[in-house]
Amino acid sequence: VLKQHYYESATNQKKILSDLYSLRNRPQPGRTEDNIFLLHKQHFHQPWSSFLKTATRKDPATVAEPPSTLKVDTLLCVHGLLHYSPEYDEDHARLVMVTRQEWETLTNFYASDLEVTVAPDLSTSPQLCQSCFAARLENEQKEKLNYDRARLNIRLVPSASSLDDQESDSGSSRKRPRMDGPSSPIPPELKKVMKTATNGSGAAQDVRRSARTRKVPGQKEVHVTVSSSLTLRELKQMITGQLAVAPFDQHLSTLDGKELNGDFNTLSSLGILPNTTLLLQVDEPKESFDDTSEGFSQRTEPEAGFKGTGLLHAY
């Protein structure tokens, strides 16, 4: 009897909430005229979708238990404020955006004493707890920067001087267009923390990236396996082993242009995360003085047609 009840309920929910079940056509903050309701993917959507999947099988051997509530409280911190930000990329992946109609349908099946919403102007109710949010991001960043046997990609790019010439010739100084939308209510200081936690360097995502950040077909790229305690000097020595480039000729930077300095700084202290792509510029040897002087001497050598004449005494 219970399985039959679960089957009917799950079939009904799966039909009327098919987009939510499959996470299709999700509303996006700042791009809708109505409030968006938030749910936690791990604490509600995953067990809910598991229930719908197992309960609607023809002969379910085992049926996952349905959620008892919408678990909205898992989105809040100890102060009763919002612990997650839909503007932070990693939090956006942890959240499920729900339309008003879907929310009203869900509350017919599951109890909830709370609502967490994002307004069209990106403000949230309740407000984001800035102190708890920043502390959580800091802890997550520390965990990310403690790793072993992680992969780094080293991409060989033209030297700075040749790159500037290429960009000048190609007129590649055009800026990327910005997406129009409401301004974020999150303070700039907190946004900087969000960006640092996302890419390890704190560079804005909408800053122009020059041609050196895009991998050109045929451009050489090598991979090294590293730990977070590896020093910059040791990394350069590993690169020397693969590319035969002396450490003092190597100039490493991140994709957003942040140069890596300090031979004894660790990858962790430099904010380098696993699977990061670093750009390597190599000092090119300058034209030697001997080559120049040889060319000069050749140019000043008297031509054979003047030999044996009095004109040679004029030199």
- Kindly report the CATH number assigned to the domain that includes residue 259: 3.10.20.90
Q: What is the pLDDT of residues 40-52, one digit of tens each?
A: 999 999 999 999 9
Q: What is the pLDDT of residues 278-307, one digit of tens each?
A: 999 999 766 544 454 444 444 445 555 545
Measure the CA–CA gap between 26 and 141, rounded to whole angstroms: 28
Residue 49, in any domain of the structure? yes
Residue 309: pLDDT over 60: no
Residue 95, in any domain of the structure? yes
- Give the domain extent around 5: 1-132
- For residues 44-79, one letter each, b for 16 or more C-beta atoms within 10 angstroms of the residue's C-beta and e for the rest, the string is bbebbbebbebbbeeeeeebbebbeebbbeebbbee
**Residues 4 and 127 grouped into a single domain:** yes
Residue 120, in any domain of the structure? yes
Q: What is the pLDDT of residues 152-203, one digit of tens each?
A: 999 999 876 554 544 444 444 333 333 345 656 666 667 666 666 666 544 3
State the pairing for strand pair 221-226/250-254: unpaired
In angstroms, the first-to-last Cα distance of the chain is 116
Measure the CA–CA gap between 75 and 84, rounded to whole angstroms: 6
Q: What is the pTM of this model?
A: 0.68
Residue 6, in any domain of the structure? yes
